[in-house]
Structure 1
Amino acid sequence: MELELLDPRNDFLFKRIFGSEENRDVLLAFLNRTFTEAGQPPLSEILLLNPYTDKDSPTDKQSILDVRARTTEGELINVEMQLFNRYDMEKRTLFYWSKQYGSQLVEGQSYDTLKRCVTINILNFSLLPNKLYHSVFHLREDRTGIELTGDIEIHFLELPKLEERTVDLQEGGLANWLLFLKGVDHNQWEVLTMNEPKLKKAMNTLEFLSQDKQLRMEYEARQKFLHDQASMMNAAKNAEAFGFKHGMQQGIQEGIQQGIEQGIEQGIQRGIENTARRLLKMGLNIDEVAEATGLTNEQVQHLQTAP
């Protein structure tokens, strides 16, 4: 009976394959393929800043399931697998990039000690309005292309945009790694690894982990957690849309009495607040409700405690 392989796009499993000390060479090979395709020199070595440990619980919201590394030059790299669209991905990416960038400074240090920070988002959904599976962003002047600073670099690797028939599998490269993550047919694995020897180690790791009964249970728990979280986020978006529409209607009615403009504004706000209260009752935490509705954490906390 053929072994049923687990899905490496599961962020818990992704970190086991790419974020463990014993597979640091696998991560280095993947990063070098990513940077080479972007026209940058390869790295010689990396240091894992948050290697996988048994404390990385698949259902603990506090577990950090992205992969963080530092180069020999002190540059920081963050790799994150996103199985479902969490919405506002662009702003979320900038927010976490800025936290990583700013965390380098301690009191008394000058700004010139800040090192380049690279964010690599691997997405199981299409995000950007282009046909590229690999998009790279920097900070440059619009007309001349002059780079303001090289410290910001953001990659989006969109798996749905990668089509197997358009790739020369024997050539090797980043596409082969992404096809492995995407779930290319097991019969194609040997071709994928012809010029990607470290990819073979990633595949062997996946096969080994897929035979671990305890890990399968943790994997299934993580899959359920991710699906539940995606369902709640979709419900939040739908509820927000309903609240917006309801708020518009109520606001127009009140606007007859108090002025159309003011009434619409109040109605929209009331609808959003009602949506926030419903999401809190559904079990979402303050951060998730704030992200879904656009309210501040303080506003959500007030709604939670208000009678």
Structure 2
Amino acid sequence: MIFINPKIDWAFKKIFGSSESKDILISFLNALVYDGIPTIKDLEIINPNLPPALQGLKDTYLDVKAKLLDGTIVIIEMQVLNVESFGKRVLYNAAKTYAFQLESGEGYRMLKPVIALTITDFKLFAKSDSLVSRFIYKEKTTNFEYTDNNIELVFVELPKFTKELAQLETIADKWIYFMKYARSLTEVPETMDSIPAIHKAFEIANQANLSREEREEIEKREMFVYDQQGAISLGKAEGKQEEKLEIARKLLALLDNETISQTTGISVDEVQNLRETND
């Protein structure tokens, strides 16, 4: 068997955000957000449609949203590229989701909590060895929690997960192993197959169950991510302005100005100047 890579945006949405994924997402969130405690009994996946074919392959991230029975909104995102200001973007998306709940005339009492769960394919917090990090508002000196702690950021850094298959103990271990290694597996591990939600996730991820168009789409997206990772690595290694500009020139036909700016470290205005010069 060959499994699609759940770290790629299209595959991530297919596995966790499609109309058939409710039980998968409940298990996934209970494992990673609630430490394996079956807190979530039901949820609604918001906008369960898969993203359309990319126009120029410019999308670099995509999230899944769900509303829990108590109204809590959960944003789940898989991020493979460590782009500039990524942490700010996560906070912005969570704050925007929180603020945009209210319709005109509604009071603040109607606001429900927002949890942003972000899985990264890179080390985001280099000074911490924690695989899972959780952030809420606290008083700076005494560390007591804010009265209405309605925005929580949860991060899972895949490179910090080092357990082998035989070492998997919790359901969180098994979901993280699935995220990190599914693409390289040729069969479903027996210890993971016994969990219905993970079994179903592997079924959806099985390339044999996809149409030819779906396989082609995910191959395009996977190659696109690899190209961007290569560009970022090259940009960091070279570092010189002229070399950054050369990398940006090569990306003009593939990416929008903001993404090129994030990838290379040059300003959006510089990217636009390059685009006008090359027209």
TM-score, normalization: structure 1?
0.74
CA offsets per residue over residues 174-198 of structure 1, 9 Å max, x none? 110110111165566111243x321
Aligned to 1:286: 257
Aligned to 1:265: none
Q: Residue type matched to 1:221 in 2?
A: K
Residue of structure 2 aligned with 1:80, choices 70, 77, 80 = 77
Aligned to 1:154: 153
**How do 1:1-307 and structure 2 match up within 5 A?**
3-37=1-35, 42-53=39-50, 55=52, 57=54, 60-61=57-58, 65-128=62-125, 129-148=127-146, 149-165=148-164, 168-169=167-168, 171-183=169-181, 185-186=185-186, 189-194=189-194, 196-207=195-206, 212-234=211-233, 241-243=239-241, 279=248, 282-283=251-252, 284-291=255-262, 293=265, 295=267
| Alpha-carbon spacing, 1:277–1:188, altered in 2? closer, same or farther (3 Å) | closer
| Alpha-carbon spacing, 1:215–1:4, altered in 2? closer, same or farther (3 Å) | same
Identity among equivalent pairs (%):
28
Aligned to 1:258: none
Secondary structure in 2 matching 1:141: coil
CA distance in 1, matches of 2:142, 2:38: 24
CA distance in 2, matches of 1:233, 1:199: 33
TM-score, normalization: structure 2?
0.81
CA distance in 2, matches of 1:294, 1:122: 26
Q: Residue type matched to 1:288 in 2?
A: T
Larger mean CA deviation between 29-38 and 159-168 belongs to 159-168
Question: 5+ unaligned residues in a row in structure 2: which ranges?
Answer: none
| Alpha-carbon spacing, 1:202–1:188, altered in 2? closer, same or farther (3 Å) | closer
| Alpha-carbon spacing, 1:294–1:105, altered in 2? closer, same or farther (3 Å) | farther
1:89: Cα distance to partner?
2.3
CA distance in 2, matches of 1:58, 1:14: 19
Which is bigger in relative contact order (C-alpha 8 A, separation at least 6)? 2
Larger mean CA deviation between 286-295 and 92-101 belongs to 286-295
Q: Residue type matched to 1:279 in 2?
A: A
| Alpha-carbon spacing, 1:190–1:17, altered in 2? closer, same or farther (3 Å) | same
Secondary structure in 2 matching 1:106: coil
In 2, are the aligned partners of 1:79 and 1:121 still within 8 Å (CA)? yes
CA distance in 1, matches of 2:187, 2:275: 53
CA distance in 1, matches of 2:135, 2:82: 20
| Alpha-carbon spacing, 1:160–1:58, altered in 2? closer, same or farther (3 Å) | farther
In 1, are the aligned partners of 2:231 and 2:247 still within 8 Å (CA)? no
In 1, are the aligned partners of 2:61 and 2:79 still within 8 Å (CA)? no
CA distance in 1, matches of 2:95, 2:257: 22
Aligned residues: 271
CA distance in 2, matches of 1:276, 1:114: 45
CA distance in 2, matches of 1:122, 1:178: 9
1:86: Cα distance to partner?
2.0
CA offsets per residue over residues 89-142 of structure 1, 9 Å max, x none? 222211222222222233333333222111111111111122221111111113
In 1, are the aligned partners of 2:24 and 2:198 still within 8 Å (CA)? yes
CA distance in 2, matches of 1:236, 1:55: 30
In 1, are the aligned partners of 2:131 and 2:160 still within 8 Å (CA)? yes
| Alpha-carbon spacing, 1:96–1:233, altered in 2? closer, same or farther (3 Å) | farther
CA distance in 2, matches of 1:167, 1:110: 52
The structure number with the bigger radius of gyration is 1
Cα RMSD of the aligned pairs, angstroms, is 3.3
Question: 5+ unaligned residues in a row in structure 1: which ranges?
Answer: 244-270
